């Protein structure tokens, strides 16, 4: 499968490593995999079923009895498997923003993953889930484009490793703790995501240090004796192998500029997961090979070993999560039939934000598993027209073919484990949903539904003595 041909310098940032032998083999693998996927598509049953009665062998009714609706349910074994899939990388650093429930963080920690934090809150969360502030491979890394004051105070106080996404971060950190090693997040000048809103590279992105400013930033770091021990690039979320592969070349160039002090390179996150019939996984072996080649080339240049990190969020948790809702009304609006469920964009914002598609299934209370289907629009309870789960980017309402169902039946929004509960809000004074984790046959409540009292607990009425 491997071609021993000369590197074709000039494509993909002109870096030999990317376009040489290994890349050719990766492209071939990609091509073969695409063909296999096509065949699988044609002959295999759809992985997304329109009806379901259980999640990981636990009846839906039982889950709802325990947590009510709307309810997030996670399959622990799936998360563990996804971490194992990435074992070729030296470090799996979970981007906890995807799903930061303490139990999920704890589960990742027990599987040997370390964690990325983007705020003081995420640092404290990681600690609450058992990650220590300092240690080999930096158990917690703060990656951001700014330090707000609480975050700066916290990283200094606890000695958390920082990955700087702006020149100002270097200065502000250096002024507080000169001499500390740092890593730099580089914007390589291009990016890609499943939506323009999740593209984190290029001139329209606020993220990272612009690649052409790296040399200046090294001088800036030098001013405070901050050794630059690593580089990090994350070009977007929900991208594809082609775009991810481009980063390798940019990394090679940036790391060569930094030189001997580079001990870690991070490929960032961005691995896509299937949300629709026909979506495919990235060929992880090919992806690893690309990065491993960069790492090895770099090791030759710097004369010591270089650690290769990956920073997935979605890949670890998306498929493991389900949002169970109950249908509360079935309305006709002219030609359209609406299933109105008790979860809204306060529970799952991805459809309204990005027009994101989530597979859906129905669990009928009468036990029927083979009902006729019909085209429906699925909406939530919020007092806003955009509260629709079947919409495309730009807010265009569309329909979905789903089984016939009525009031009291459950509608499960699938692949909701990444950027689901974490992006929940109290809009319309809706409480944050409960969360359950299924692991080793046990169903654990890992977040209680928020109570009304908790929701208003931080609010104050100035003239409260005048209340009746």
Give catalytic residues, as residue numbers. Answer: 383
Which two three-digit tokens encode residue 370?
Answer: 């083979």
Residue 357 interacting with ligand LLP (CB under 6 A): no
Largest CA distance in the chain: 83
What residues numbered 377-416 form the site for ligand LLP, per CB under 6 A?
A: none
By CB under 6 A, name the one of 138, 234, 364, 447 that touches ligand LLP: 234
Q: Shortest Cβ distance from residue 162 to ligand LLP (Å)?
A: 13
143 or 346, CB closer to ligand LLP?
143
Instruction: State the Rg of the chain over Cα.
Output: 24
Residue 315 interacting with ligand LLP (CB under 6 A): yes
Q: What distance in Å separates the CA atoms of residue 139 and residue 321, rounded to the nearest whole number? A: 25
Q: Shortest Cβ distance from residue 194 to ligand LLP (Å)?
A: 6
Q: What distance in Å separates the CA atoms of residue 263 and residue 261, rounded to the nearest whole number? A: 6
Q: Shortest Cβ distance from residue 18 to ligand LLP (Å)?
A: 21
Q: Shortest Cβ distance from residue 278 to ligand LLP (Å)?
A: 18
Q: Which residues, other chains included, contact 148 with Cβ-Cβ below 8 Å and sequence gap of 6+? A: 119, 120
Nearest to 389 by CA among 275, 280, 277: 275
Residue 270 interacting with ligand LLP (CB under 6 A): yes
By CB under 6 A, name the one of 15, 25, 69, 143 that touches ligand LLP: 143
* DSSP E strand boundaries for 190-349: 209-210, 228-232, 264-266, 307-310, 321-333, 336-341
Give the x/- contact pattern for ligand LLP in 189-228, rule: CB under 6 A.
---------x-x----------------------------
Query: Count of H helices and E strands in the chain?
Result: 14, 22
Task: Determine which helix (DSSP H) or strand (DSSP E) holds 104, and give its type and residue range.
Answer: helix 102-110
By CB under 6 A, name the one of 246, 289, 311, 326 that touches ligand LLP: 311
Q: How big is the site for ligand LLP, counted in residues (CB under 6 A)? A: 23
Q: Is the dihedral of CA 242, 255, 211, 229 positive or negative?
A: positive
The DSSP string of 276-289 is STT-----HHHHHH
Give the x/- contact pattern for ligand LLP in 331-350, rule: CB under 6 A.
-------------------x
180 or 237, CB closer to ligand LLP?
237
Q: What distance in Å separates the CA atoms of residue 20 and residue 18, rounded to the nearest whole number? A: 6
Q: Shortest Cβ distance from residue 350 to ligand LLP (Å)?
A: 5
Positions in the binding site for ligand LLP (CB under 6 A) = 95, 97-98, 116, 143, 198, 200, 234, 237-238, 268-271, 311-315, 350, 354, 418-419
């Amino acid at each position: 499968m491997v071609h021993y041909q000369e590197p074709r310098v000039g494509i993909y940032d002109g870096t030999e490593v990317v376009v040489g032998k290994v890349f050719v083999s990766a492209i071939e693998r990609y091509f073969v995999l695409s063909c296999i996927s096509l065949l699988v598509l044609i002959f295999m049953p759809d992985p997304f079923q329109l009806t379901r009665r259980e999640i990981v062998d636990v009846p839906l009714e039982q889950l709802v009895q325990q947590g009510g609706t709307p309810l997030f349910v996670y399959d622990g074994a799936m998360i563990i498997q996804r971490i194992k899939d990435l074992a070729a990388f030296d470090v799996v650093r979970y981007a906890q923003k995807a799903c930061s429930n303490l139990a999920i963080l704890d589960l990742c920690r027990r599987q040997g993953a370390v964690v990325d934090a983007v705020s003081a809150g995420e640092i404290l969360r990681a600690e609450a889930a058992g990650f220590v502030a300092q240690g080999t491979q930096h158990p917690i890394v703060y990656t951001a484009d700014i330090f707000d004051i609480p975050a700066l105070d916290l990283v200094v106080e606890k000695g958390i490793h920082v990955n700087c996404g702006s020149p100002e971060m270097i200065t502000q950190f250096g002024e507080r703790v000169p001499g500390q090693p740092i890593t730099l997040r580089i914007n390589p000048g291009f990016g890609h995501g499943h939506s323009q809103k999740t593209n984190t590279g290029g001139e329209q992105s606020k993220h990272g240090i612009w690649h052409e400013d790296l040399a200046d930033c090294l001088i800036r770091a030098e001013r405070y004796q901050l050794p630059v021990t690593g580089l990090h690039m994350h070009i977007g979320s929900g991208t594809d192998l082609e775009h991810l592969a481009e980063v390798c070349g940019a990394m090679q160039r940036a790391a060569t500029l930094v030189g001997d002090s580079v001990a870690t390179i991070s490929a960032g996150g961005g691995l896509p997961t299937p949300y629709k019939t026909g979506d495919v996984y990235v060929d992880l072996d090919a992806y690893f090979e690309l990065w491993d080649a960069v790492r090895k080339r770099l090791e030759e240049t710097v004369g010591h070993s270089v650690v290769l990190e990956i920073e997935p969020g979605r890949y670890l948790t998306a498929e493991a999560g389900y949002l169970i809702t109950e249908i509360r009304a079935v309305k006709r609006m002219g030609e359209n039939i609406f299933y109105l469920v008790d979860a809204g964009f306060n529970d799952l914002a991805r459809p309204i934000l990005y027009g994101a598609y989530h597979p859906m299934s129905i669990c009928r209370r009468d036990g029927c598993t083979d009902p006729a289907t019909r085209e429906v629009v699925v909406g939530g309870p919020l007092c806003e027209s955009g509260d629709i789960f079947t919409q495309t980017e730009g807010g265009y309402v569309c329909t979905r073919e789903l089984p016939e169902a009525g009031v009291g039946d459950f509608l499960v929004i699938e692949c909701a484990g990444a950027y689901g509960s974490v992006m929940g809000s109290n809009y319309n004074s809706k409480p944050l949903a409960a969360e359950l984790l299924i692991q080793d046959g046990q169903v654990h409540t890992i977040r209680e539904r928020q109570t009304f009292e908790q929701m208003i607990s931080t609010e104050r009425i100035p003239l409260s003595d005048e209340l009746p």
